[in-house]
Structure 1
Amino acid sequence: MPILETRALNKRFGGLHVTNNVDFALEEGEVHCLIGPNGAGKSTLFRLILGEHAPSSGAILFGGEDITHLKSFQRIHRGMSVKFQVPGIFKALSVRQNLEIAMQRHYEAASLGEEIEKLLAFLNLSADGGRLAGNLSHGQKQWLEIGMAISLKPRLLLLDEPTAGMSPEETHATGEMIKRLNAEGMTVLAVEHDMAFVRQVAHKVTVLHLGRVFAQGTIDDIVADEQVAAIYLGKTTAHETTAHEQKGGLHG
């Protein structure tokens, strides 16, 4: 059973059909990346999964349970956690205090300090625990919010462009964090543009285009697909797109 599944999922904003009959499945233990050109519907699908948008039709299942009409906090209580593109940290508090707020409900007081130090080390922030979070570099702020998200010990970690604005070195370090979390059993779904990061972490890649699942496979499959290259370059004709969708993408 997939840990996450969408069935014929649709979202319309007025006359705009943003998410178009999306069937998607995420296997437990997988790192799965959603990619696609701007306007493909990635962020809308992400917010439908999290519960920030209500679907126009279709269903969302998490761990086999229909969560289509649950609020975001109810989904989080069931084992989802999210890191958005813009860090939502408490800038006027220290790095350690940010983690304490996120972790205090999940650890006994006697062990909280030790667990915070372990997480700081994992995030490459051991030397920065006493700094104001607002004074961190952009990449460090991203890492801090990843730390706050994983402190909930989720079954599924949702990442919205986790490497946006990072240097290549920071991007690689973030990928190594994700791989380590996955090795420890965490399932990850990431919306991402950086193909080096996608190649580094993804077991499977789904390409969205015009609100539909356009292709799916390994990163090597996706990179080798001329139709995928065409949509990124803006050269796919409507006829070609329709023909490709009728074939069912890379793997039917």
Structure 2
Amino acid sequence: MRKILVIGIGTGNPAHVTQEAIEALNRVNVFFIPHKGAQKEALAHLREAICKRFIHHRNYRFVDVEIPAREAQPEDYRATVADWHAQIERNYIDAFRTELGEEECGALLVWGDPAFYDSTLRILDSIHGRGTLAFSHEVIAGISSVQMLAARHRIPLNRIGAPVLITTGRRLMQGFPAEADSVVVMLDGEQAFSHIDPEGLEIFWGAYLGMDEELLICGPLEQVSAQILSAREEARRHHGWIMDIYLLRRVAR
């Protein structure tokens, strides 16, 4: 039976690829590399570079899988995401069926960790549920951008005995959650932090965490918001892409 490994590969620094992930990489025959357009080619190349660095043999190959662009500001968010996932699912089914032998091991290399706002596992579950393609799959955890953000800023994510909320920029647009103290925000293409009331909030922001291009800014939100917006825009223009994440929390009194 075909086997698919979903391997978390960290945030771009090869030193953060775990020993378990390295062992998993060496089991793989076919790596399915998602391609999301010219602007994100660097991410595909980084995946390939990690393989070449850690795999001790050359009996593997790369297969490109096109990932369609998702509508940026849909009227019906859930319906749009469902349609987008269905397109990706079809592309993966075609790739698995044509490129992965019955007894071979394939892999999907997930940025950071598969558990945090990544749809790979949902898509594989959907494929498996259809019953049209038999395979088993296994998940290997990776160092996430959430962990890296805290490490780079040298902070714990939570205060003593207090919870941490992990959410998206789309939801933060509705305002800082009333009952929350510490909020980690991912997938914020609209820079929601600049649209909410900054009073009483501090931010710990990071981009390209763990990479040579790493950027870090922190401070009271009302004082550093404009600085983050400027740094983010300049970096995106220079590199053609950006991955960033931040922690917002109430200023301790």
Normalised by the size of structure 2, how large is the TM-score? 0.27
Normalised by the size of structure 1, how large is the TM-score? 0.27
